[in-house]
Copies of this chain bind each other. A is one copy, B any other.
């Protein structure tokens, strides 16, 4: 049994483009040339040729002609070596290159004349190695474009297509054929995963080490794997995308038809340093990548272990129809640990229906646990596993099953594995309609024949119960994503987007000519134009005027210094809240002025802002510009807690309404949004409207470099009210 994700025609990727078809030469070449083949055992050219030849095992070797090329000619590993490509005199589809970089541009040109369609450049010494290398890479790409040759690499480990014995890499082994397509920026990670696959017995459909991505990049390869029938799930390791937006589009397209798991290496310290404000320091590149994965429907793993486990589960099992887990076990303690882990992962333990319990009563000894985890006791026979599993698979209250086995002296692990696989293979009418995923953990059986039996029959087997529950959680998240998948390309505009008004506002002089922070009045005018309600306020030149303003607005009021030099007002005592009368206004103005001038001696105090004081839950909404992905929107719990708990979520701009609601849903303090302890409930739809407005504004106004509304107060009666905002704009230009 190989279970795959159910697919609707509407979700299939579009017709394969010519460009995608061109990549077929990499994965299904009729003939190969290896330029730089070598007889020296420690050389890369020898390692690649040995892999192509299956290390002497003809069933493991590439089936078509292999032409070693070496300027010295002679014979290498039993094959005639050609002195040049031209000497071959037969068609070559794919060329693998491991000669020194300087000779490669000319080689590519020659390859074009010989009809080569595709080249894997393993050699290093290009753009990663300085100015001369950059020139060399440009020369190589000019030659490739002229010749119509596509290039993977340079500086990569190579490519493996196990099903046809094509191991065009210097990995130490060839993995078995299976359902996972692996795409990796790191060659070393490919080596590692090939070792895991060999050791743990899982298979791969295609393995591509992309290296420095001079030509073929993640986005094209993702689309190729999406169209590849052998690939059931895609595993993507990345440190940085070369064209982030193109890869984002490809991920979003591909994840609609095939599950994609990503592992991001390296939190970008450089990106964090570049950010100039506290929002920036929270954001940085890591937040942008995480946002991109979430928005595209890609599951982001945080470790190699999860990366492989999730990919294996998603390649072998259908997405789960819900989040209700059943645990079937012969072991009490490990069953308890599954329940603990399920709770950590946000899964529910299914409550078994009376029907299910009665059915289990009929096949199990009376001492079974009569609940979930379904503990079928230490002396469980293979038949007991089979019968219980059949019943659980048919139970409508169960969305996914984790099967646990510990080996005790009476246990027959191999027959139990067979019985479990049999129970999953049987397919009643009901199961045709509603297929639920099953994964297993036989403790301490990794790499044994028992584990590989399960894996071969499509039940992903994991070494520990927590890993199995984690893999099931991935299947459940995948199912959830598919159920709520938005219509692709749908626009989620809000009515009355105020971009035009906001732009007019900035053009009318509402910004510092040299760029920098807008002052309070400018920021207020901009946001008001964009449709974000600011609290009622007025600016007073001195304390007398402030009293007049306060009486007009009504007490209590908040007072703030107006000074372009003061960014974080509360840090320097430039804010006074809860002022209730005229005496208080005069006192506050004097005290704040003294404090600000003591802290920021060069500050110019332009006056006092007198503001309506509103009560409610403090939120923050912010925008930064990520160096990779461009504008990034943040929402979270505001006030001083922004820095303390960093309870914020990010999405790339532009965002859909679903993205807006998703990011609101990622805030940890959901209880606060729901109105904890008598606080007003935050209206999520109105907050989503506001996020879409900000998204519209920033998307169309690149001159807004950063924007922070903090706090944005969710009130009981006045909706969402901005209390303070900081907007940084680029210098004014003619546009």
**In the bound complex, CA of A188 to CA of B198 (Å):** 29
List, in ascending order, chain B residues with CB within 8 A of A492's CB. Answer: none
- A677/B303 in contact, CB under 8 A: no
Closest Cβ of chain B to A671, distance in Å, is 5
- A333/B196 in contact, CB under 8 A: no
- B266/A187 in contact, CB under 8 A: no
- B194/A265 in contact, CB under 8 A: no
- B643/A645 in contact, CB under 8 A: no
List, in ascending order, chain B residues with CB within 8 A of A185's CB. Answer: 333
Given A188-B408, A410-B42, CB of A193 within 8 Å of CB of B444: yes
**In the bound complex, CA of A334 to CA of B263 (Å):** 11
List, in ascending order, chain B residues with CB within 8 A of A302's CB. Answer: 340, 344
**In the bound complex, CA of A198 to CA of B188 (Å):** 29
- A305/B467 in contact, CB under 8 A: yes
- B333/A189 in contact, CB under 8 A: yes
Closest Cβ of chain B to A571, distance in Å, is 5
List, in ascending order, chain B residues with CB within 8 A of A199's CB. Answer: 444-448
* A674-689 to B contact mask, C-beta < 8 Å, 1/0: 0011110000000000
**In the bound complex, CA of A446 to CA of B304 (Å):** 14
List, in ascending order, chain B residues with CB within 8 A of A197's CB. Answer: 444
**In the bound complex, CA of A330 to CA of B641 (Å):** 42
* A334-346 to B contact mask, C-beta < 8 Å, 1/0: 1011011101100
Closest Cβ of chain B to A581, distance in Å, is 7
Q: Which residues of A from 425 to 477 have beta carbons under 8 Å from B?
A: 443-448, 463-467
- B172/A408 in contact, CB under 8 A: yes
Given A192-B334, A195-B444, CB of A47 within 8 Å of CB of B409: yes
Given A676-B640, A677-B568, CB of A408 within 8 Å of CB of B170: yes
Does A536 interact with chain B (Cβ within 8 Å)?
no
Of the listed residues A195, A568, A571, the one surrounded by the most CB atoms of chain B closer than 10 A to its CB is A195
Does A570 interact with chain B (Cβ within 8 Å)?
yes
Does A597 interact with chain B (Cβ within 8 Å)?
no
- B337/A303 in contact, CB under 8 A: yes
- B188/A378 in contact, CB under 8 A: yes
- B172/A407 in contact, CB under 8 A: yes
Q: Which residues of A from 634 to 660 have beta carbons under 8 Å from B?
A: 640-641, 643-645, 647
Does A83 interact with chain B (Cβ within 8 Å)?
no
Of the listed residues A197, A406, A411, the one surrounded by the most CB atoms of chain B closer than 10 A to its CB is A406
Does A314 interact with chain B (Cβ within 8 Å)?
no
- A444/B407 in contact, CB under 8 A: no
Given A172-B409, A199-B448, CB of A305 within 8 Å of CB of B188: no
Of the listed residues A170, A189, A411, the one surrounded by the most CB atoms of chain B closer than 10 A to its CB is A189
**In the bound complex, CA of A205 to CA of B184 (Å):** 42
**In the bound complex, CA of A339 to CA of B269 (Å):** 12
Closest Cβ of chain B to A557, distance in Å, is 12
List, in ascending order, chain B residues with CB within 8 A of A332's CB. Answer: 186, 188
List, in ascending order, chain B residues with CB within 8 A of A570's CB. Answer: 677-678
- B406/A305 in contact, CB under 8 A: no
- B444/A305 in contact, CB under 8 A: no
Across the interface, name the chain B residue whose C-beta is closest to A556.
B578
**In the bound complex, CA of A208 to CA of B372 (Å):** 27
Across the interface, name the chain B residue whose C-beta is closest to A339.
B266
List, in ascending order, chain B residues with CB within 8 A of A23's CB. Answer: none
* A552-577 to B contact mask, C-beta < 8 Å, 1/0: 00001000000000001011110000
Does A237 interact with chain B (Cβ within 8 Å)?
yes
- B447/A446 in contact, CB under 8 A: yes
Does A50 interact with chain B (Cβ within 8 Å)?
yes
**In the bound complex, CA of A578 to CA of B191 (Å):** 65
Given A643-B677, A677-B640, CB of A192 within 8 Å of CB of B410: no
Q: Which one of B184, B406, B580, B671 lies within 8 Å of A581 (CB-CB)?
A: B580
- A678/B188 in contact, CB under 8 A: no
List, in ascending order, chain B residues with CB within 8 A of A194's CB. Answer: 444
Does A672 interact with chain B (Cβ within 8 Å)?
yes
List, in ascending order, chain B residues with CB within 8 A of A331's CB. Answer: 186, 188-189, 191-192
Given A191-B408, A266-B339, CB of A334 within 8 Å of CB of B446: no
* A273-304 to B contact mask, C-beta < 8 Å, 1/0: 00000000000000000000000000000111
- B192/A406 in contact, CB under 8 A: yes
Does A239 interact with chain B (Cβ within 8 Å)?
yes
List, in ascending order, chain B residues with CB within 8 A of A447's CB. Answer: 199, 446-447
**In the bound complex, CA of A196 to CA of B199 (Å):** 15
**In the bound complex, CA of A337 to CA of B186 (Å):** 11
Across the interface, name the chain B residue whose C-beta is closest to A337.
B265
Q: Which residues of A from 323 to 382 have beta carbons under 8 Å from B?
A: 330-334, 336-337, 339-341, 343-344, 378
List, in ascending order, chain B residues with CB within 8 A of A647's CB. Answer: 645
**In the bound complex, CA of A254 to CA of B70 (Å):** 67
Beyond A193-B443, A643-B677, A644-B676, 17 additional pairs, beta carbon < 8 A: A51-B409, A157-B408, A170-B409, A191-B407, A192-B443, A192-B444, A195-B406, A195-B445, A200-B444, A200-B446, A263-B337, A266-B340, A303-B341, A304-B465, A570-B678, A572-B678, A643-B676
10 A–B contacts, CB within 8 A, in A order:
A172-B407, A189-B333, A193-B443, A199-B444, A263-B337, A265-B337, A267-B340, A556-B578, A573-B678, A645-B647
